[in-house]
Amino acid sequence: QVGKALAVLNDTDSDQDIFVASSAGTFRFAVENDGDLRLRNAALISNASDGTLSLSEPTIQLVGSTALDVDAPSFNLATQATDIELINTNASALTISESTNNYLAIDTSGEIMSFGNATTNPTFNFLGTGAVSIAGAEGSTKLTLTAGDAVISDGSLAVTDDDDAATSFSVVNNA
């Protein structure tokens, strides 16, 4: 409201900034005539359209004990290639969870990716017609089922012996 503010700046031309701040002659920030905020490194913060806040810099960095709280149901990264870098050698480099129930946990100190937990026992589905490949060093254990049953439905099982060991495939019943 005009007249209610401590100071009112009304620049009637269209080619000058409304407000410029400097320290000892060094530019710090400006409020441009279109309402954008120009920072000392020439980065722009703009709200040219409703619902959109634009920052002209390629990196947004939160430092200290800060968190990014996005009050939206989704992130849309469809307009760019995306790479998520995780901190190295950290047991909790990335977790996807509901409260304390992890659905996905990535441990970069042990190079471990964990799905689910002993409390919630979520079900994970790999949908589509693609293949699941498990690779590793020859002779190492690639897949271990510690409890429960392995079921193949509407498919087949093929075992390929590539190491010429006499006991490449075994079935053990401990009942």
Structure tokens at 150: 């392995």
Q: What is the Rg, in whole angstroms, of the alpha carbon atoms belonging to the chain?
A: 29
Only one residue has tokens 């409201």, namely: 1
Strand partners, 98: 101
Contact 9, 18 (CB under 8 A): yes
- Is this prediction's pTM over 0.75? no
5, pLDDT greater than 70: yes
At 173 the pLDDT is: 73
Task: State how far the Cα of 142 lies from the Cα of 134, in Å rounded to an integer.
Answer: 7
Task: Give the chain's mean pLDDT.
Answer: 81
Q: Is the pLDDT of residue 151 over 90?
A: no
pLDDT tier for residue 146 given thresholds of 50, 70 and 90: confident
What HEC string does 1-65 produce? CCCCCCCCCCCCCCCCCCEEEEECCEEEEEECCCCCEEECCCCEEECCCCCCCEECCCCCCCCCC
DSSP secondary structure letters along 86-115: --SS-TTSEEEEETTEEEEEEETTTTEEEE
Q: What is the pLDDT of residues 108-139, one digit of tens each?
A: 999 998 888 777 777 778 888 878 777 777 76
In this predicted model, what pLDDT tens digit does every residue of 27-85 receive, in sequence order? Answer: 999 999 988 999 998 889 998 887 778 888 877 777 777 777 777 777 777 887 778 88
The distance from CA 163 to its chain's CA centroid, rounded to whole angstroms, is 40
CA separation for the pair 153, 94 (Å, rounded): 34
Q: How far is CA 125 from CA 96, 119, 122, 129, in A?
A: 16, 19, 10, 12
Confidence of residue 166 (pLDDT cuts 50, 70, 90): low
